[in-house]
Structure 1
Amino acid sequence: MKGLFLVEPVVALYAFSSFLIYPLVQQYVYRRLWQELTNTSYPISDNASRCAENSSASNHSSYYKEVQRQASLFSLYTELFSTIPSLVVTLMLVAYSDRGGRKITIITPLIGTLIYTLSFLAVSYFELNIYFLIGASILSSLFGGLGTFLGGCFAYIADLCEDGHQKTLRMAGVDMMIGLLSGVASISTGYFLRAAGFNWPFVTSALFQCLILFYAIFILEETVKKAPTDAIILDGAPQRSAMKQMLYGVYHMFAGASHRSHLVLLMLIFTSFSFAYVGGVSLITLYELNEPLCWTEILIGYGSALSTTVFLTSFVGVSAFTYCGVPQLLIVLMGILSVVSGMVLLAFTKTTVMMFIARVPMLLSIMPFPVLRSMISKIISKSEQGALFACLSFLESLTNNVSIAVFSSVYAATVAWYSGFIFTLAAGLCVIPLFFLGVVGLMGGGVPKEINNPEPVYSGEEDLVEDQNDNSPLLS
């Protein structure tokens, strides 16, 4: 059966299955911690807020603050212990995909996600200790993570797109698909939880992940062509060269870049913006569970769905601005300012209506990510796209994990006196990518024309040449 060169269905179903349970993770941990710390059942109400009915209790506020602190620390431990394995796997797999194929970077993290989902189902069904989830997170990180998956998907798209505008729009389309399907999953999560409890959403997510694996293994076509194994085997040379490809691919990308300063500055903008944005957004659910909002699972589902619409609106924004010829740096600037304005509003939000309104200024907040990926991809040759997205995914995963850990610890320390401080911090940290963006603008603002080197077909001859001369490059 002839395969398809469509990675978007994989991304779409992955987003749906992940966000079907993502809002439940913090809620499940929150409820279990509530039961353990208070020795009472978690208050469930059909009202918009649970605070009003419990406001008469003298120790009500202290309970919420302690549970908030413990829940944020749980998130911190999970991120810290799973970060390093995930980063190492991301760097090795996505860099190796330049010669080993892109599908390995897509299939492997899908297996890890399925393991984590089934582990969560076991903890929920058998009411095991919630700290087993940290072990499950570490185990799944050995298969890579979201950074590995997205790095492979974006490298896959880069292989197929020759035109720069097409590459920008298709990468933005992937981000939009993530948001659209995530929104559908998030808005149904609250009703799903109330009607069936925690177990059935996990079962449903696991079934979808099995479907994704089937598509990725048997239907998705490979974009990297490889020679037969017997053509490249000689005294173990392929294994040594493959390891060198993983270790030195990123180095060669930087060493051979003709516009190294642009490459470094664009990556600094990408990582610093990701740090501020992800750190702030990661704690919105905990903020909604806290006083004075005290949202129910239904409202949290609506809030998560509204948050994910930024992927759709950002895609529309990128498409419209690109069609109108707006400079890419200006598109990135508008996206960063969108995040700053939204975070400032979130920091001072105390009512349900304002919590929904605060999300409106952030409707363009995803625009910088696909635009920056496309800008960086244009100045790197096609033979190094895997190394590029390995580096980019490594930095993004590292930044996001460190960001969540830092913001979780800050939130645990500040929730007692000002729970909105973390959003103010996120807005303030956006000054860093704005500074680097200004530097790129002062350097001329332009990114060099796309390098259209023909995509090499690996034949194994490069290994033989390299084994004879250690000073020669790995791949031309």
Structure 2
Amino acid sequence: MAAPPEPPPASEPPPAAKAPGRRLAAVEPLLFLATVSLGLQGPLATQYLWDRLGADLGYSRGNSSSADGCTEGPGANGSTDTLQREVETLVSHWNLYINLGGFFVGLFSVTLFGPWSDSVGRRPVLILPAVGMAMQAAIYLLVMYLRLHVGFFLLGRILSGLTGDYNLILASCFAYVADTSAARARTFRVAVLEACLGVAGMLASIGGGQWRKAQGYINPFWLVFAASLAAALYAVFCLQESVKQRKPAKLFTLSHYMAVYRLYTTPERQGSRQKLALYSLAFFLIVTVHFGTKDIYVLYELGSPLCWASDLIGYGSAASYLAYLSSLAGLRVLQLCLEDTWVAELGLISNISGLVVMSIATTTPLMFTGYGMLFLSMAATPVIRAKLSKLVNETEQGALFASVACVEGLCSLVASGVFNSLYPATLHFMRGFPFLFGALILLIPAAIIGLIEVWDSHLAYRHFSRSSMSLTNS
């Protein structure tokens, strides 16, 4: 009996990219809708927690967007400051609990569904998490309508985690792009997909801030529900399958978890596995800082001395999402004269400088200056995703991006634990210290990415030298 054919090497483009049949529907609209839902939900949920928990403690704040817009309570300034810090601490801790619940459930569901999609296709694992996000939005609406305890937010997050949550949508969308793109064009295709995150998040942040100021929380959360549901319907009726050779596969089996494990332990292509681990570590640190600082943006802006109202918070969130678009444009231009690795390094420099400015921001113009300096901050992640994708075979793309989604879930856990704990602990001496801490952490992935590039260049030089010597001797 003939031996089974060997899988194509990781450097070759997948069959869909080499010999495309019909043109597949774009996956970007689905990611756009899911990100609109998430972009609305995050800042609104944090503000809702602030208002609900603040009301329980007798603390309130005005709607002024000026620097002195925080409303003082009946007591002295010291008493008001104490109440504000207590509210900030409670909101920070509830964010931590909610993120912890989502992570521990999502860790198992994403690593289950991701490798499964390599066999049965991407569409089922795009439909399921979109439905889960709609269920979470429905529970949040019930909490707001019925004034239920904010602990029910945790229930909604767990239900969404059981279906894979937003991380599974991200993983499946990137695997879909890897299925349908040539290796040489993959970095830019991944950057386009990440730019969709920026456009959707920016629109959701601006609209959500203004809408919440005009009509409260409930109506914007109806859009959160509708966008999640629309993403599920798009996957059902519009999206075509990108996996060419589908086959039935059991869902509840340990083989899916083993597929993720083998990515990092299989001895073949040892150099690729080492780079896979190093790039994953760099990705983990970058995304941890991104999630951690993003978690405390709203808290930092709500408190004194900035005291932003919901409209300014919306503009600030939009400015942070704008970095996706500016990073896409910068990536496209810089690729004309630089290798992808050095584009990623410039992105990290942009990220570090923006966080340093934010750490000392005490006025609205300085805070927006920090946002502006993040203009190239999102260039590093598409480069790393593309490099990871090129290190594995086409039959491992689902397992790879499931592992990346697990890394992102772990990032969310670590970021919530570290930054949501660090923020209240450092309020008494430097409110912006977590941003400075994040900037220092980013020096590590910058060193990792640079060392890998130097290592590859050294190996290429040695190979060239040996080839030259062989030709000379012959």
Tell me the TM-score normalised to structure 2 length: 0.87
- Offset at residue 239 of structure 1 (A): 3.7
- Answer whether contact 1:49 1:296 (CA < 8 A) is retained: no
Once the two structures are superposed, what CA deviation does each residue of 1:99-135 show, in whole Å capped at 9, x if it has no partner? 0211122112111111111111111111111111112
Report whether the alignment pairs 1:123 with 2:143: yes
Report matched runs for 1:237-276 at 5 Å.
Answer: 239=250, 243=253, 245-254=255-264, 255=266, 256-258=268-270, 259-276=272-289
Q: 362-371 or 77-86, which moves further after superposition?
A: 77-86
Aligned residue among 324, 341, 349 for 2:353: 341
Report whether the alignment pairs 1:313 with 2:332: no
Q: Give the aligned residue type for 1:173.
A: V
Report what 2:181 is aligned to: 161
Unaligned runs of 5+ in 1: 230-237, 449-476
- Offset at residue 401 of structure 1 (A): 2.1
Distance 1:68 1:211 in 2: 34
- Answer whether contact 1:75 1:405 (CA < 8 A) is retained: no
Distance 2:96 2:412 in 1: 12
Report what 2:128 is aligned to: 108
Unaligned runs of 5+ in 2: 1-21, 461-474
Q: Residues 397 and 257 (structure 1 numbering): CA distance in 2 closer, same or farther, change over 3 Å? A: farther
Report what 2:234 is aligned to: 215
Distance 1:218 1:45 in 2: 43
Once the two structures are superposed, what CA deviation does each residue of 1:382-422 show, in whole Å capped at 9, x if it has no partner? 11111111111111211222212211011121223321111
- Offset at residue 276 of structure 1 (A): 2.1
Distance 1:302 1:6 in 2: 29
- Answer whether contact 2:350 2:377 (CA < 8 A) is retained: yes
Report what 1:31 is aligned to: 51
Distance 1:68 1:24 in 2: 15
Aligned alpha-carbon RMSD (Å):
2.1
Q: Residues 257 and 88 (structure 1 numbering): CA distance in 2 closer, same or farther, change over 3 Å? A: farther
Q: Give the aligned residue type for 1:146.
A: Y
- Offset at residue 3 of structure 1 (A): 9.2
Q: Give the aligned residue type for 1:200.
A: N
Report what 1:75 is aligned to: 95
- Answer whether contact 1:310 1:364 (CA < 8 A) is retained: yes
Report what 1:381 is aligned to: 393
Report whether the alignment pairs 1:202 with 2:221: yes
- Offset at residue 219 of structure 1 (A): 1.4
Distance 1:8 1:160 in 2: 13
SS of the residue 1:418 aligns to: coil
- Answer whether contact 2:44 2:217 (CA < 8 A) is retained: yes
Report whether the alignment pairs 1:54 with 2:87: no
Q: Give the aligned residue type for 1:246.
A: H
- Answer whether contact 1:43 1:50 (CA < 8 A) is retained: no
Once the two structures are superposed, what CA deviation does each residue of 1:421-454 show, in whole Å capped at 9, x if it has no partner? 1111101111221221232133135899xxxxxx
Report what 1:188 is aligned to: 207
- Offset at residue 301 of structure 1 (A): 0.7
Runs of 4+ more than 6 Å apart: none
SS of the residue 2:148 aligns to: coil
SS of the residue 2:373 aligns to: helix
Number of residues paired by the alignment?
434
Distance 2:374 2:65 in 1: 27
- Answer whether contact 1:48 1:299 (CA < 8 A) is retained: no
Tell me the TM-score normalised to structure 1 length: 0.86
Report what 2:444 is aligned to: 432
Report what 1:468 is aligned to: none
